[in-house]
Structure 1
Amino acid sequence: MIKDLERTETDPKLKIPYGSCVKEYELSNRAIEEAKEFASANSKAYLSASKAASRAFDSISMCEAYLEGLKMPDHVSTRNLWFERMCNIDKIFSDLLI
Structure 2
Amino acid sequence: MIKTLLGLCLALSAHLSFAAVDLNKATAADLDSIKGIGPSTSSRILSERKSAPFKDWQDFIQRVPGIGDKRAAQLSTHGLTVNGTGYKAPAAPAAKPAR
TM-score range, shorter chain: 0.3 to 0.5
Considering only CA atoms, is the larger Rg found in Structure 1 or Structure 2?
2
Higher strand share: 2
